Amino acid sequence: MAIAADIQRAMEDSSWIRRMFELGIQLRQERGAENVFDLSLGNPIAEPPPQFFDELRNFAASDSPGAHRYMPNSGYVETRQAVADALSDETGLSYGADHIVMTVGAAAALNIVVHSLCDRDDEVVILTPFFAEYLFYATNHGAKPVVVGCDEHFMPDLEELEGKLSARTKMVIVNSPNNPSGAMYPPSLIEALADLLRAKSAEFGTEIFLISDEPYRKILFDEHSYPFPQLAYERTITVTSHAKDLALPGDRIGYIAVHPEYDDGGLLMDALIFCNRVLGFVNAPAIMQHLVRNLQTVTIDTTDYQQKRDYLYVVLRAAGYEVRKPEGAFYMFPKSPVEDEMELVAALQRQGVLVVPGRGFGMEGYFRISYCVEQRELEGAAPGFAAAMSELTGG
């Protein structure tokens, strides 16, 4: 076999999300699209806000010379300053353009950060439940993923984390609101996590970074406000994208933000910019940098997502599922009524409903539902959830 052994193994263990998405294509061909309800993929059906199209039209009409040329690898200074100004307003910290790197989405941002910080066999701590690609982002760069469990509310087990931190730990990745659970870490947990990382960094004589992956930061419900980790911990690096808050997943635009009070921020920024280049991203897309410059305070209307969350929560509870009501994002992570969630996933497939098994996120016995779909998809799936529960429990 010509391909690398590591890649072959990774492909065999690759994303359950994509597997279910591909199964959905097959089932629609076999049963008809109207009989299949695909709740597997976090591909938002929301359209970008009107301001995005205003910016797009203005840019297309401007015919500005040089608008498509190379720019600094970190991105246009005007765009970076706009990001910095918005972050400063939100956090009260003094971000500047020199703390920002524009990236090809959050996935590129995470790979850039790991490549910048990790030597071979350094450790990247990943908190359960997790976005499965985190494992590959670590191993892409020779680092070792270290998985830490959570409690029944999907809050990380800080006692287990303390036991797994070591002198080789370079970073802990947090994703809040979380994919797949929709849970948001409260300020008290963030502060306890910061205290632990600060103490362990001092104990080992190292620097442990907190990498805050925030694509769902602005998709919050019930008037929740976001607890910014950088307010608790000076070694916080923010990575995010506009895939969800501006509904631009296919346009691949995001950024990295280094804490403005981190002592070696200049050297860290140099490393991030260098890695942005040598990993082949070179720079974030020029057009998207121009467009999002004036959209840093704009977000899609989250009312629709909250209404769908509420609808689905009622449906699942009425059918007998144990599920935590999310604070944000557009996922639910119910507990399977049987120990092996693959049985539940299969039972739902027989009803034409596609979900993702929890083992794809590091937690067997659960399953993920994505509700960033048309309302008719949720309504069509509702009888299937009840029927699958009845089939497996005899209820």
Same structural domain, 92 and 27: no
Domain containing 81: what range?
A: 66-292
Residues 125, 270 within the same domain: yes
Mean pLDDT of 114-133: 97
Q: Are residues 37 and 139 in the same domain?
A: no
**Do 161 and 172 meet the contact criterion of CB atoms below 8 Å apart?**
yes
- One domain for residues 284 and 237: yes
Note whether residue 333 is domain-resident.
Answer: yes
Average pLDDT rounded to a whole number, residues 73-92? 98
Q: Exposed, middle or buried: residue 56 (CB in 10 Å: 0-12, 13-18, 19+)?
A: middle
Above 80 in pLDDT, residue 247?
Answer: yes
Rounded to whole angstroms, how far apart are CA atoms 150 and 231? 23
Same domain, 325 and 372: yes
Q: Is 205 among the domain residues?
A: yes
Indicate if 153 and 87 belong to the same structural domain: yes
**14 has a pLDDT exceeding 70:** no
pTM of the model: 0.96
Asked if residue 372 and residue 285 are part of one domain, the reply reads: no
Q: Is residue 59 part of a domain?
A: no
Whether the per-residue pLDDT at 140 is higher than 70: the answer is yes
- Residue 16 has a pLDDT of 73
Question: Whole-angstrom Cα distance, residue 55 to residue 298?
Answer: 12
Q: Are residues 174 and 134 in the same domain?
A: yes
- Among 247, 266, 292, identify where a domain stops: 292
**Cα–Cα nearest to 147, from 135, 159, 139:** 135
Q: What is the mean pLDDT of residues 343-357?
A: 96
Does residue 58 lie in a domain region? no
Q: What pLDDT, in 10s, does the model give residues 202-243?
A: 999 999 999 999 999 999 999 999 999 999 999 999 999 999
Report d(CA 127, CA 151) in Å as an integer: 11
What is the mean predicted confidence (pLDDT) over 294-298? 98
Identify the CATH number of the domain in which residue 387 sits: 3.90.1150.10
Asked if pLDDT for residue 85 goes beyond 90, the answer is yes
Quick one: 274 and 316 in the same domain? no
* Same-domain check for residues 238 and 318: no
Together in a domain, 89 and 231: yes
> What CATH code is carried by the domain that includes residue 201?
3.40.640.10
Strand order in the sheet with 331-332: 331-332, 367-370, 356-357
